[in-house]
């Protein structure tokens, strides 16, 4: 029993291996966080822009946006990353691993965010629009100052959950050799011949995402969609 425990610690919680490869995992965590933040910024901004455009542009523009949203809701994010990274270099559009992963995840997040925000805009009662317009606000002003704030509030819980799920996809970058947490951990554990870096990676992911998940749970109860 004693022996089994010692072997387990030697394999998964090896202090020497942890000390040696810890800094690499930390470097990976920095990339994961940068990639995550860049994805959230681009995805949510682009998603909001599309939702606002769909709410105010002619019908055919709306159709194009729906097609975009459908496609990126249907494609697995890893497939988008692989296409960007492995297919585009053939037409002289080589993309770095960071750019490919960021672009893929941002497009997917934008698609989901557009759908959620558009649903939110639709659920703002017509009377709100009419009242806003009758006070002399233009269509754009009514959209920005009256409809969007209400829509954002109502859509926060589903949006937070979706954003967490997509940002966890930063780990997919390891498939195209992006040295984020998982990428660093797999190469470190094969170099060290010991899985302790994978344990460190697991802890790093929990340290980053667990607070966000708990925050999401709190937001969910606080902003609950009152029916």
Nearer CB in complex with another protein: 61/141: 61
Q: How far is the CB of 68 from another protein (least distance, A)?
A: 12
Q: How far is the CB of 80 from another protein (least distance, A)?
A: 8
Nearer CB in complex with another protein: 62/137: 62
Q: How far is the CB of 34 from another protein (least distance, A)?
A: 16
Q: How far is the CB of 21 from another protein (least distance, A)?
A: 14
The C-alpha angle with vertex 130 and arms to 129 and 133, in degrees rounded to 5, equals 85
Q: How far is the CB of 194 from another protein (least distance, A)?
A: 7
Q: How far does Cα 103 stand from its chain's mean position? A: 11
Nearer CB in complex with another protein: 135/225: 225
Nearer CB in complex with another protein: 45/75: 75
Task: Identify which of 32, 34, 163 has the alpha carbon closest to the alpha carbon of residue 108.
Answer: 163
Q: How far is the CB of 136 from another protein (least distance, A)?
A: 29
Nearer CB in complex with another protein: 24/168: 168
**Residues at the contact surface with another protein, assessed by CB under 8 A:** 8, 11-12, 66, 70-71, 73-80, 82-83, 86-87, 90-91, 115, 119, 122-123, 164-165, 168-172, 174-175, 181-182, 186, 189, 194-195, 198-199, 201-202, 205-206, 209-210, 212-214, 217, 227
Nearer CB in complex with another protein: 132/181: 181
With the CA atoms of 220, 207, 186 and 93 taken in that order, what torsion angle do they form, in degrees rounded to the nearest 10? 60
142-151 contact pairs (CB < 8 A, 24+): 143/52, 143/55, 143/56, 147/55, 147/121, 148/48, 148/52, 148/121, 150/120, 150/124, 151/117, 151/120, 151/121, 151/123, 151/124
């Amino acid at each position: 029993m004693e022996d089994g425990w010692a072997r387990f610690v030697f394999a998964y919680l090896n202090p020497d291996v942890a000390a040696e490869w810890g800094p690499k995992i930390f470097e990976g965590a920095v990339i994961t966080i940068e990639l995550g933040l860049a994805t959230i910024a681009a995805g949510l901004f682009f998603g909001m822009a599309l939702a606002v455009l769909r709410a105010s542009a002619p019908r055919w523009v709306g159709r194009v946006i729906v097609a975009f949203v459908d496609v990126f809701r249907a494609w697995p994010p890893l497939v988008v990353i692989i296409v960007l990274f492995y297919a585009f270099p053939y037409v002289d559009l080589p993309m770095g691993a960071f750019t490919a992963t960021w672009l893929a995840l941002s497009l997917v997040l934008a698609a989901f965010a557009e759908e959620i925000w558009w649903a939110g805009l639709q659920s703002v009662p017509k009377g709100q629009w009419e009242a806003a317009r009758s006070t002399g606000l233009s269509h754009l002003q009514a959209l920005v100052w009256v409809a969007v704030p209400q829509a954002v509030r109502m859509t926060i819980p589903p949006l937070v959950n979706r954003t967490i799920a997509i940002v966890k996809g930063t780990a997919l970058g390891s498939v195209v050799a992006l040295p984020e947490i998982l990428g660093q951990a797999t190469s470190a554990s094969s170099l060290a011949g010991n899985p302790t870096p994978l344990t460190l990676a697991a802890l790093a992911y929990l340290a980053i995402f667990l607070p966000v998940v708990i925050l999401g749970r709190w937001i969910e109860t606080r902003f609950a969609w009152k029916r």
